[in-house]
A and B are shown apart, each in its own frame.
Chain A
Amino acid sequence: MKKKKTAALLFSAIAVSVLTGCGRKEPSPGDIAGYDDGEQYLSIWVHSIEDTEEGQCYRKSVDAFNELYDGTYFADIEFVPRNDSGGGYSDKINASVMSGGLPDVLTVDGPNIAAYASNGIIQPLAGLTEEERSVYLPSIIDQGTYDHKLYALGAMESSVGLYYNKEILAEAGVTVPDTEHPWTFSEFLEILGKVKPVTDAKNGYAIDMTFPVGEATIYYYAPFFWSNGGDFIDESGLNAEGVLNSPENLETLQYFKQILENGYMSPVKITDLFESGRAAFKFDGAWEVNTIYSSYPDISLGVAPYIVSDHWDGGRYTPTGSWAFAASSATEHLEGATRLVQYMSGVESGKRLWEESRSFPSTYEAFNSSPIFQEDENYNALYKQLSNYGHPRSKTPVYPQVSASVQSILENVVLTGMDAQTELDQSIERINAKLKRYRADE
Chain B
Amino acid sequence: MKKKTSDSLLGMAFFGPALVLLTVFLFLPMLLTLIFSFTDFFALNPALTHFTGLDNYFQILKDEDFRQAFFNTVQFVIIIVPLQGLGALGMALLINRVTYCKKYFKVAFFVPVVMSLAVVSTLWIQIYSPEGILNSLLSLFGIPAQPFINSAGQALPSIAVMSAWQGVGYQMIIFLGGLQAINPALYEAADMDHATPWQKFKDITLPELKPLCVFVFITITIGAFRMLVQPMVMTGGGPSHSTYTVVYDIYETGTVNWEIGLASTMAIIFAFFVMILTIIQTVLTSDKEDKHADKKTKAK
Residue of B nearest to A85 (CB): B256
B150: which of A115, A269, A430, A434 is its contact (CB, 8 Å)?
Answer: A269
Asked whether B177 is an interface residue with its Cβ less than 8 Å from the other chain, the reply is no
Asked whether B189 is an interface residue with its Cβ less than 8 Å from the other chain, the reply is no
Stretch at the interface among B9-17, B83-91, B162-170, B285-293: B9-17
Q: By the criterion CB–CB under 8 Å, are A416 and B240 in contact? A: yes
Asked whether B109 is an interface residue with its Cβ less than 8 Å from the other chain, the reply is no
Q: By the criterion CB–CB under 8 Å, are A90 and B255 in contact? A: yes
Stretch at the interface among A3-11, A29-37, A52-60, A313-321: A3-11
B61 → A minimal CB distance (Å): 14
Asked whether A197 is an interface residue with its Cβ less than 8 Å from the other chain, the reply is no
Q: By the criterion CB–CB under 8 Å, are A426 and B64 in contact? A: yes
- Measured CA separation A271–B133 after assembly (Å): 13
Stretch at the interface among A116-124, A185-193, A225-233, A349-357: A116-124
- Measured CA separation A434–B9 after assembly (Å): 52
Q: Which residues of A contact B187 (CB under 8 A)?
A: none
Q: Which residues of B contact A426 (CB under 8 A)?
A: 64
* Residues 201-255 of A contacting B (Cβ, < 8 Å): 212-214
Q: Which residues of A contact B48 (CB under 8 A)?
A: 437
Q: By the criterion CB–CB under 8 Å, are B12 and A437 in contact? A: no
Q: By the criterion CB–CB under 8 Å, are B256 and A400 in contact? A: yes
Q: By the criterion CB–CB under 8 Å, are A8 and B13 in contact? A: yes
B12: which of A8, A87, A91, A94 is its contact (CB, 8 Å)?
Answer: A8
Asked whether A19 is an interface residue with its Cβ less than 8 Å from the other chain, the reply is yes
Q: By the criterion CB–CB under 8 Å, are B43 and A16 in contact? A: no
Given contacts A8-B9, A270-B131, contact A213 B238 (CB under 8 A): yes
Q: By the criterion CB–CB under 8 Å, are A15 and B16 in contact? A: yes
A-contact bits for B257-282, CB 8 A (1 contact / 0 none): 11100000000000000000000000
Q: By the criterion CB–CB under 8 Å, are A213 and B236 in contact? A: yes
Q: Which residues of B contact A266 (CB under 8 A)?
A: 130
Greatest chain A CB density within 10 A among B17, B64, B131, B238 is at B238
Q: Which residues of A contact B64 (CB under 8 A)?
A: 426
Asked whether A170 is an interface residue with its Cβ less than 8 Å from the other chain, the reply is no
- Measured CA separation A266–B147 after assembly (Å): 11
Asked whether B229 is an interface residue with its Cβ less than 8 Å from the other chain, the reply is no
Q: By the criterion CB–CB under 8 Å, are A401 and B45 in contact? A: no
Q: By the criterion CB–CB under 8 Å, are B13 and A19 in contact? A: no
Asked whether B20 is an interface residue with its Cβ less than 8 Å from the other chain, the reply is yes
Q: Which residues of B contact A15 (CB under 8 A)?
A: 16-17, 20-21
* Residues 389-442 of A contacting B (Cβ, < 8 Å): 398, 400-401, 404, 408, 411-412, 415-416, 418, 426, 430, 433-434, 437
Q: By the criterion CB–CB under 8 Å, are B255 and A415 in contact? A: no
Interface of A is mostly: helix
Residue of B nearest to A10 (CB): B13
Residue of A nearest to B258 (CB): A94
B197 → A minimal CB distance (Å): 45
Q: By the criterion CB–CB under 8 Å, are B17 and A11 in contact? A: yes
Q: By the criterion CB–CB under 8 Å, are A4 and B6 in contact? A: yes
- Measured CA separation A166–B21 after assembly (Å): 62
Asked whether B129 is an interface residue with its Cβ less than 8 Å from the other chain, the reply is yes
Q: By the criterion CB–CB under 8 Å, are A98 and B257 in contact? A: no
Q: Which residues of A contact B241 (CB under 8 A)?
A: 408
Asked whether B112 is an interface residue with its Cβ less than 8 Å from the other chain, the reply is no
Given contacts A8-B12, A12-B20, contact A94 B43 (CB under 8 A): yes
Q: Which residues of A contact B129 (CB under 8 A)?
A: 269-271
Given contacts A268-B151, A270-B129, contact A12 B16 (CB under 8 A): yes
* Residues 20-60 of B contacting A (Cβ, < 8 Å): 20-21, 24, 40, 42-46, 48, 59
- Measured CA separation A417–B102 after assembly (Å): 51
Asked whether B65 is an interface residue with its Cβ less than 8 Å from the other chain, the reply is yes
Q: By the criterion CB–CB under 8 Å, are B44 and A411 in contact? A: no
B58 → A minimal CB distance (Å): 12
Asked whether A97 is an interface residue with its Cβ less than 8 Å from the other chain, the reply is yes
Residue of A nearest to B47 (CB): A120
B45: which of A87, A91, A119 is its contact (CB, 8 Å)?
Answer: A119
Q: By the criterion CB–CB under 8 Å, are B20 and A16 in contact? A: yes
Q: Which residues of A contact B40 (CB under 8 A)?
A: 437
- Measured CA separation A267–B147 after assembly (Å): 9
Asked whether B93 is an interface residue with its Cβ less than 8 Å from the other chain, the reply is no
A146 → B minimal CB distance (Å): 14
Q: Which residues of B contact A270 (CB under 8 A)?
A: 129-131
> A267-B147, A434-B259 provided; 19 other pairs, C-beta below 8 A?
A1-B9, A4-B6, A4-B10, A4-B13, A12-B20, A19-B20, A19-B21, A94-B43, A97-B43, A119-B42, A119-B45, A212-B236, A213-B235, A268-B150, A270-B129, A270-B130, A400-B256, A415-B240, A434-B257
A-B CB contact pairs (8 Å), 25 listed: A1-B6, A4-B9, A8-B9, A12-B16, A15-B16, A19-B21, A85-B255, A86-B256, A94-B43, A94-B44, A97-B44, A97-B45, A97-B46, A116-B44, A119-B42, A121-B44, A213-B238, A267-B147, A268-B147, A269-B129, A269-B130, A398-B257, A412-B240, A426-B64, A434-B259
Please give the residue numbers on chain A whose beta carbons come within 8 Å of chain B beta carbons, in ascending order.
1, 4-5, 7-8, 11-12, 14-16, 19, 85-87, 90-91, 94, 97-98, 115-116, 119-121, 212-214, 266-271, 398, 400-401, 404, 408, 411-412, 415-416, 418, 426, 430, 433-434, 437
